[in-house]
Amino acid sequence: MPYPSILEDRILASFEGLSPKQRAIARLILDNRYFASFASAAEIGEKVDASAATVVRLCQELGYEGLPDLQQSIRDELPSYLTAVERLEQRLTATTNEQQLPQRVLATDIANLQRTSNALSSAVFDGAVEALTQARHVLIVASGVTAPAAHFLAYSLQVINCRARAVSDGDIVLAVNLAHLTSQDVVVGVGLWRYVRSTVEALERAKAQGARVIAITDSLVSPLARQADFAFEVTAEGVAHSLSITAIVSLMNALVAGVSLHDPARSTASLRRVDAEFHARHLLLE
């Protein structure tokens, strides 16, 4: 059978037929392409408690002759600028001086932004903007580290006269909002590994009720992406214990800009009304 040329396309096309171990390896490869491009089959398998033979079988299932063939495809598909990013990361990994920690964190976020930009599909972005613009209501669902980003997106959409709400405070509030979804609504799910069950189930419920679904996540084969009409892959590498949401917020900024520019007259009128209300209620320091 013919196979797509891009690794992630091959994984997406074959994902349903893969075993649980093979799915775990596929996610690992997509999320850690540098590592996967030079590691041995045993080293890759060890990360997900799978055998080297399972790694090789996955490569063949995807249409490659073996692991070296898959690794060459990864190297061929990586854009040239990422080589510079890799060199930067190698230097940062060797840094142990705590005084350089801020620079390391900021440089990691710059790399996250570059990788997210490279993964961005114009067609998916335009489709998501159109869905958000036409939506009767927008419900943004997130938990944990991604919750602040959800509230940022909801507020930013509200300012330009989109009816948006973020839910990150429990199953009861979420259930009430899901109960009233229609095909005219959009649900945005935000989640990173490890994925929160309530967010994934919210997207499943939204899809069942005919709402459009947008996923902002860290893998195109994550449980969120698999429920989405429009899926965005963001890089969220962190320096310490936590993941970074910098790329998520930046992508949300782009979506809000897209919605705003889709109907600039409406956006401008809304901003003027909001500003007038701020002044009428003396909310701002003069």
Residues 33 and 143 in one domain: no
pLDDT digits (tens, 9 = 90+) for 229-240: 999 999 998 877
What six digits make up the tokens of 34?
A: 């540098």
Kindly report, residue by residue over 94-112, the tens digit of the pLDDT: 554 565 778 888 888 998 9
Q: What is the pLDDT of residue 84?
A: 47
pLDDT at residue 216 is higher than 50: yes
Domain span holding position 12: 7-77
**CA-based torsion, 94, 100, 105, 110: positive or negative:** negative
* Residues whose CB falls within 8 Å of the CB of residue 184, separated by 6 or more in sequence, listed in order: 134, 135, 136, 137, 211
Give the model confidence (pLDDT) of 148-183 as tens digits: 999 999 999 999 999 999 999 778 999 999 999 999
Last residue of a domain, one of 49, 77, 105: 77
CATH number of the domain at 182, please.
3.40.50.10490
Asked whether residue 163 falls in the same domain as residue 30, the answer is no
Residues 45 and 129 both lie in one domain: no
pLDDT of residue 90: 52
Residue 29 and residue 155 in one domain: no
SS3 65: coil
Q: What is the largest CA-CA distance in the chain?
A: 69
Segment 110-129, tens digit of pLDDT: 989 998 998 899 999 999 99
pTM above the 0.85 mark?
no
Is 198 a residue whose pLDDT tops 90? Answer: yes
